[in-house]
Amino acid sequence: MFRKSIPSTQLFVRTITSRVRRVNERQLLIVLSIVTGLLSGLAAVLLKHTVHFIQHVLVGFVDSFSWTRLLLFAFPAFGMLLAFLFVKYAVKDNISHGVTRVLYAISRKESKLPRHNTWTSIIASSITIGFGGSVGAEAPIVLTGSAIGSNIGQALKLSYKNITLLLACGAAGAIGGIFKAPLAGVIFTLEVLMIDITLTSIVPLLISAVAATSVSYLMLGNDLEFASSALQPFAMSNTPFYLILGVFCGLVGVYFTRGTMFIEGKFRKVKRPSAKWLIGGTILGLTIILFPPLYGEGYGILSALLNESSQDIFENTFFSQLTDLKWFIFVYLLLLLLFKVVAMSSTNGGGGVGGTFGPTLFMGGICGAFIGKLVNFFKVNNPVPEANFTMVGMAGLMAAVMHSPLTAIFLIAEITGGYTLFMPLMITAVTAFIVINTFEPHSIYTKRLAQRGDLLTQNKDQAVLTLLKLNGLIEKDLQPMVINDSLGDMVKVVAQSKRNVFPVVDLENHLMGILMLDDIRQEMFNTSKYDTIHVYDYMCSPPDVIDENEAMEAVLAKFEKTGAWNLPVVTKDNHYIGFVSKSKLLSAYRSMLVNYSG
pLDDT tens, residue by residue, 416-452: 988 889 999 999 999 999 999 999 988 888 887 777 6
Mean pLDDT confidence for 244-266: 96
Range of the domain at 341: 236-458
pLDDT digits (tens, 9 = 90+) for 145-190: 999 999 999 999 998 889 999 999 999 999 999 999 999 999 999 8
**DSSP per-residue letters across 507-557:** TT-BEEEEEEHHHHGGGTT-GGGTTT-BGGGT-B--S--EETT--HHHHHH
CA atoms within a 13 Å half-sphere pointing along the CA-CB vector of 294: 30
Does position 388 have pLDDT exceeding 50, yes or no?
yes
Closest CA to 308 of 372, 214, 362: 372
Residues 44 and 76 in one domain: yes
- b/e sequence 516-545, b meaning 16+ C-beta within 10 Å: eeeebeeebeeeeeeeebbbeebbeebbeb
Residues 208 and 248 in one domain: no
Mean pLDDT confidence for 211-222: 94
CB contact set of 415 (below 8 Å; sequence gap of 6+):
179, 180, 181, 184, 224, 225, 226
pLDDT digits (tens, 9 = 90+) for 324-345: 677 888 999 999 999 999 999 9
- Give the end of a domain, one of 442, 458, 474: 458
Residue 91: the pLDDT is 92
First to last CA, the chain: 48
Residue 597: the pLDDT is 52
Residue 2: the pLDDT is 44
Q: How many domains does the chain have?
A: 3
- Give the end of a domain, one of 458, 485, 516: 458
* Position 227 in a domain: no
Residues 439 and 469 in one domain: no
Inter-residue contact 220 to 48 (CB < 8 Å): yes
Least confident residue range of 29-33, 194-198, 278-282, 353-357: 194-198
Inter-residue contact 104 to 95 (CB < 8 Å): no
Q: What is the mean pLDDT of the chain?
A: 87
Residues 263 and 207 in one domain: no
Inter-residue contact 248 to 389 (CB < 8 Å): no
Does position 595 have pLDDT exceeding 70, yes or no?
no
pLDDT digits (tens, 9 = 90+) for 453-501: 666 555 555 556 666 777 778 888 888 888 888 888 888 888 888 788 8
Stated pTM of the model: 0.79
Closest CA to 398 of 216, 188, 164: 188
Closest CA to 540 of 493, 490, 500, 503: 503
- Give the end of a domain, one of 220, 250, 268: 220
Residues 255 and 402 in one domain: yes
